Amino acid sequence: MIDKFKQAFLEEARDILVELESALLELNEKRDDLELVGRAFRALHTVKGSGAMFGFEELAAFTHNLETAFDAVRNGQLRITGDLINLSLAAKDQIKAMLEQASGGPPVQQAVSDEILAQVRRLTGKAEPSVVISTQAAVSDTVPATSTVAQGPTRDWRIHFSPGPDFMRSGANPLLLLRELKQLGTLHVNASMAAVPPIAELEPERCYISWELSLTTAVAREAISDVFIFVADICDLAIDPVAQAVPDPALQVVNLPPVTQPEKTQIVVADKNATKPPPWGRRASDTPDNASSIRVPAAKLDQFVDLVGELVTVQARLGQLATRHEDPEIASVSEEIERLTSALRENSINIRMLPLRATFERFRRLVHDLARDLHKEVELTIEGAETELDKSVIDQLNDPLMHLIRNSMDHGIESSERRSVSGKRSAATIRLSARHSGASVLIGVSDDGGGIDAAAVRARAVEKGLVAADAALSEAEVFSLILAPGFSTAKTVTDVSGRGVGMDVVRRSVEALRGNIEITSKPAEGTTVTLRLPLTLAIIDGLLVRVGEAHFVLPLASTLECIELTRQDIARANGKHVAIVRGEIIPYIRLREYFNMQAEAPEREQVMVAETEDGRYGFVVDQVLGDHQTVIKNLGRFYSHVQLVSGATILGNGAVALILDPNRLVRDAIRTLPLIPRDSRGELPRTESKAARRAACS
Partner 1 sequence: MPIILDQSEEVITIRLLGEVDISCAIELRALLLTALGSKKKLRLELEETCELDVTTLQLLWAAEREARSCGVKFTVEQPLPQAVSRMVADAGFEKFPLPANS
Least Å from the CB of residue 235 to partner 1: 13
Pair 383, 433: CB distance under 8 Å: yes
- Applying CB under 8 A, the span of 20-28, 192-200, 230-238, 298-306 interacting with partner 1 comes to 192-200
Write the single-letter amino acid at 670.
I
Least Å from the CB of residue 374 to partner 1: 52
Report the distance separating Cα 224 and Cα 157, nearest Å: 9
For position 216 contacting partner 1 by CB under 8 A, the verdict is no
For position 196 contacting partner 1 by CB under 8 A, the verdict is yes
Q: Which is nearer to partner 1, 206 or 357 (CB)?
A: 206
Least Å from the CB of residue 149 to partner 1: 18
User: In whole angstroms, how far apart are CA 226 and each of 181, 184, 233?
Assistant: 10, 11, 13
Site string for partner 1, 112-151 (x = CB under 8 A): ------------------------x---------------
- Applying CB under 8 A, the span of 118-126, 200-208, 370-378, 502-510 interacting with partner 1 comes to 200-208
Least Å from the CB of residue 134 to partner 1: 9
From the list 26, 31, 158, 208, which residue makes contact with partner 1 (rule: CB under 8 A)?
A: 208
Q: Which is nearer to partner 1, 62 or 167 (CB)?
A: 167
Residue 430 phi, psi dihedral angles, 5° rounding: -115, 130
Report the distance separating Cα 456 and Cα 464, nearest Å: 12
Report the distance separating Cα 128 and Cα 143, nearest Å: 13
For position 311 contacting partner 1 by CB under 8 A, the verdict is no
- Applying CB under 8 A, the span of 72-80, 174-182, 422-430, 573-581 interacting with partner 1 comes to 174-182
From the list 22, 173, 440, 559, which residue makes contact with partner 1 (rule: CB under 8 A)?
A: 173
For position 3 contacting partner 1 by CB under 8 A, the verdict is no
Q: Of residues 392-451, which lie at the interface with partner 1 (CB under 8 A)?
A: none
From the list 18, 90, 158, 211, which residue makes contact with partner 1 (rule: CB under 8 A)?
A: 211
Distance, CA of 693 to chain centre: 48
From the list 169, 283, 357, 372, which residue makes contact with partner 1 (rule: CB under 8 A)?
A: 169
Report the distance separating Cα 104 and Cα 11, nearest Å: 14
Least Å from the CB of residue 178 to partner 1: 6
From the list 76, 153, 204, 262, which residue makes contact with partner 1 (rule: CB under 8 A)?
A: 204
From the list 145, 191, 459, 524, which residue makes contact with partner 1 (rule: CB under 8 A)?
A: 191
Report the distance separating Cα 114 and Cα 65, nearest Å: 11
Q: Which is nearer to partner 1, 195 or 307 (CB)?
A: 195
Decide: helix, strand or coil at residue 177: helix
Write the single-letter amino acid at 27.
L
- Give the count of beta carbons closer than 10 Å to the beta carbon of residue 616: 19
From the list 8, 90, 209, 505, which residue makes contact with partner 1 (rule: CB under 8 A)?
A: 209
For position 344 contacting partner 1 by CB under 8 A, the verdict is no
Least Å from the CB of residue 135 to partner 1: 9
For position 332 contacting partner 1 by CB under 8 A, the verdict is no
Pair 161, 234: CB distance under 8 Å: no
For position 258 contacting partner 1 by CB under 8 A, the verdict is no
Least Å from the CB of residue 223 to partner 1: 20
Q: Which is nearer to partner 1, 187 or 517 (CB)?
A: 187
549-585 CB burial, b ≥16 within 10 A, e <16:
ebbbbbbbbbbeeebebeeebbeebeebbbbbeeeeb
Report the distance separating Cα 391 and Cα 65, nearest Å: 36
- What is the edge-to-edge ordering of all strands in the sheet holding 584-590? 559-566, 604-612, 615-621, 584-590, 578-581
**Closest among 404, 395, 413, 412 to 483, alpha carbons compared:** 404
Diameter over CA atoms, the chain:
102
From the list 34, 132, 202, 333, which residue makes contact with partner 1 (rule: CB under 8 A)?
A: 202
Q: Which is nearer to partner 1, 136 or 420 (CB)?
A: 136
Pair 216, 177: CB distance under 8 Å: no
Say which residues have a Cβ less than 8 Å from residue 315's Cβ, sequence separation at least 6. Answer: 334, 337, 338, 341, 629, 652
- What is the edge-to-edge ordering of all strands in the sheet holding 440-447? 378-383, 428-437, 440-447, 526-534, 516-522
Least Å from the CB of residue 128 to partner 1: 23
Report the distance separating Cα 625 and Cα 106, nearest Å: 54
For position 280 contacting partner 1 by CB under 8 A, the verdict is no
Q: Which is nearer to partner 1, 224 or 529 (CB)?
A: 224
Report the distance separating Cα 392 and Cα 260, nearest Å: 67
Report the distance separating Cα 370 and Cα 277, nearest Å: 52
Q: Which is nearer to partner 1, 205 or 263 (CB)?
A: 205
Pair 285, 231: CB distance under 8 Å: no
User: In whole angstroms, how far apart are CA 600 and each of 104, 544, 548, 597?
Assistant: 60, 20, 7, 9
Q: Which is nearer to partner 1, 138 or 658 (CB)?
A: 138
Report the distance separating Cα 143 and Cα 139, nearest Å: 6
- Applying CB under 8 A, the span of 22-30, 187-195, 273-281, 555-563 interacting with partner 1 comes to 187-195
Q: Which is nearer to partner 1, 137 or 625 (CB)?
A: 137
Size of the site for partner 1 (CB under 8 A): 27
**Closest among 160, 181, 282 to 223, alpha carbons compared:** 181
Least Å from the CB of residue 228 to partner 1: 16
Report the distance separating Cα 411 and Cα 450, nearest Å: 8
- Applying CB under 8 A, the span of 202-210, 240-248, 334-342, 536-544 interacting with partner 1 comes to 202-210
Q: Which is nearer to partner 1, 209 or 330 (CB)?
A: 209
Q: Which residues pair with 615 in a beta bridge?
A: 612
For position 561 contacting partner 1 by CB under 8 A, the verdict is no
Report the distance separating Cα 677 and Cα 675, nearest Å: 6
Report the distance separating Cα 548 and Cα 655, nearest Å: 14
Report the distance separating Cα 12 and Cα 18, nearest Å: 10
From the list 107, 198, 249, 423, which residue makes contact with partner 1 (rule: CB under 8 A)?
A: 198
Least Å from the CB of residue 177 to partner 1: 10
From the list 105, 197, 438, 654, which residue makes contact with partner 1 (rule: CB under 8 A)?
A: 197
- Applying CB under 8 A, the span of 73-81, 196-204, 341-349, 526-534 interacting with partner 1 comes to 196-204
For position 238 contacting partner 1 by CB under 8 A, the verdict is no
Site of interaction with partner 1 (CB under 8 A): 136, 168-169, 173-175, 178-179, 182, 189-193, 196-200, 202, 204-209, 211
